[in-house]
A and B are shown apart, each in its own frame.
Chain A
């Protein structure tokens, strides 16, 4: 159950990455899962396994790298196509995903890697249950991140600018806000969220290019919750994580992914606007 919640937190973080971009530019970043994969590689394989950096500098470096990387992606894979047909943008992002998967193969190698994380396999015993410290760490970091994010968006100028652009691009531009810069920052922020999610899952999953598919789960979390609200994204992530973990415990671990997707598809059919969303035609849902 706790590992389900922890997994859910990770899905929720990925979902947040999607929902930020969706609200800012009305675009679902198909390559979000690749950001997660890249975060896991950079943090797990480089910083932990090779350089043995302590946690805080490694985290800071990860944030800087992922931020710059997100901006670069915006510059080369989104901005040239922003006036084109939606199909063009999506194909470009699919290409970005392929490219990142291959980049991981070029920089590192195709063999799955493990990393110990801060706590290794140590567990906390509560009553008869064993809980991984890593799971608790994931939950705690997610809560912390949400608080930081709340502060960032409500109190700082950058946050306010980003919110203004998400709300109404044209009016924001009239007010003298550099919308391109704000969108670039939004890409950076969702890339950082992806990177942190990658850092958190690195000790649980093996690090390999295939980790990209975790992005679909985060996306599913958005479908279950809603694209337009942070609460929705987090709640959707938690539900999905719990359903997946319990499903693999009680039904079949082989069909763990299939169960999660069936759950997502059921939502898509019966409640496409999600638990916390309102249906609107303009958002194209």
Chain B
């Protein structure tokens, strides 16, 4: 129970930190980056379901993200559906797609999935680039409206940020709930010993597909938010590089950990902004970082925060008494 409280506390603290940034820094650039941070948090949480909890090396989240963005953009900008009807629609489209992709590919394991998911990115990219009449080809979809709440339209990036933050927080909380539920335990069981899971009568494919669909749902939300936030989308946004970034965020923050995912997304979104002068080579330090983390602390950076909090708690006498009484 104690570790759960530390974990939830870190998630809340990280979101509180994000929420407080605009009160101290008002630069439009920072507000822009904060929006990107929230969207990245949702994407990393999505990847965490499949790569973290279920332990399946699926690397095609960017393709779901692209599909979600385009669904949203086309419904919203071309058909004029409005933000709130388009959002669930893009969630439905990505989760159905994840189901269709997941059922054949999740029967196989390990590197099969990893390579097929990269192939999937290429196929989705090809279709988006070449299906001119539908997706606008390489020119993308311009003039995607911002969401509105009642009669109020979120034209400013600051207002948009609060919406993104609220959704990211809600989804992070949902992730925590799922992690503690029997589904979360089933995911981790599949990751740790697939054979044993089959032996107790749980279909490992079913569990993996479930994790996969959750990944689709989360990327659906992120895709919708991104399309509306960025106002314009085009195929080159959904690149292999962007895809690698989620992976870095998850591994560096902490695999299978919600606070880790959030921490990784926050730290690396900031790091990427700092690394801008490296231009297209900015992934070099990030890839090295992955290897270093895997070598020395596979649980990710979040473990340091958890240890620090656990150590600090020992110095609070009231807490210690209460725990002693509890036994």
Contact = CB atoms under 8 A, between A and B. Distances in A.
Interface string B149-172: 000000000000000000000000
Contact of A254 (B105, B130, B191): B130
A92 B59 contact: no
Of the candidates B105, B116, B286, the one having the most CB atoms from chain A within 10 angstroms of its own CB is B116
A140 interface: no
A77 B291 contact: yes
Contact of B119 (A77, A220, A272): A220
Interface residues of A, number: 45
Contacts of A84: 294, 298
B202 interface: no
Most buried by B among A28, A98, A213, A219: A98
Interface residues of B, number: 41
A155 interface: no
A105 B298 contact: no
A105 B291 CA distance: 20
B26 interface: no
A142 B249 CA distance: 41
Interface in B76-124: 104-105, 107-112, 114-116, 118-120, 122-123
Interface stretch (A64-72, A128-136, A198-206, A257-265): A257-265
Contacts of B56: 87
Given A28-B110, A28-B112, A257-B123, A268 B105 contact: yes
Interface in B227-248: 244, 247
Interface in B37-86: 51, 55-57, 59
B114 A92 contact: no
Contact of A27 (B111, B280, B295): B111
A284 interface: yes
Interface string A225-262: 00000000000000000000000000000110110011
A285 interface: yes
Contacts of B287: 95-96, 98-99, 102
Contacts of A86: 57, 109-110
B111 A90 contact: yes
Given A85-B55, A269-B104, A90 B126 contact: no
Given A87-B55, A98-B283, A258 B115 contact: no
A121 interface: no
Contact of A258 (B104, B127, B288): B127
Contacts of B291: 76-77, 92, 95-96, 99
Contacts of A120: none
A219 B115 contact: yes
Interface of B is mostly: helix
Nearest to B51: A87
A30 B126 contact: no
A162 to B, nearest CB: 21
A118 interface: no
A28 B115 contact: yes
Nearest to B57: A90
Contacts of B120: 261
A106 interface: yes
A80 interface: yes
A1 interface: no
Contacts of B112: 28, 223, 268, 285
B244 A94 contact: yes
B326 interface: no
Contact of B122 (A81, A94, A103, A213): A213
B111 A92 contact: no
Nearest to A103: B284
Nearest to A223: B112
Nearest to A100: B287
A28 B115 CA distance: 9
A110 interface: yes
B57 A268 contact: no
A73 to B, nearest CB: 11
Nearest to A80: B295
A88 interface: yes
A77 B110 CA distance: 17
A285 B109 contact: yes
Contact of B130 (A28, A102, A213, A255): A255
Interface string A95-122: 1101101110110001000000000000
A106 B280 CA distance: 9
Nearest to B194: A284
B281 interface: yes
B123 A258 contact: yes
B251 interface: yes
Contacts of B109: 86, 284-285
B176 interface: no
Nearest to B284: A102
Given A80-B294, A98-B286, 15 more contacts: A27-B111, A77-B291, A86-B110, A94-B59, A94-B114, A94-B247, A98-B244, A98-B283, A102-B287, A255-B127, A255-B130, A257-B123, A257-B126, A268-B108, A272-B107
Interface of B: 51, 55-57, 59, 104-105, 107-112, 114-116, 118-120, 122-123, 126-127, 130, 191, 244, 247, 251, 255, 280-281, 283-284, 286-288, 290-291, 294-295, 298
21 contacts: A77-B291, A80-B295, A85-B55, A87-B51, A91-B294, A94-B114, A94-B244, A95-B287, A101-B283, A102-B284, A103-B284, A213-B118, A216-B119, A220-B119, A255-B130, A257-B122, A258-B122, A265-B116, A268-B116, A272-B108, A285-B108
Per CB-CB distance, the 5 closest pairs between chain A and chain B, nearest first, are A28-B111, A95-B290, A98-B287, A102-B284, A99-B287
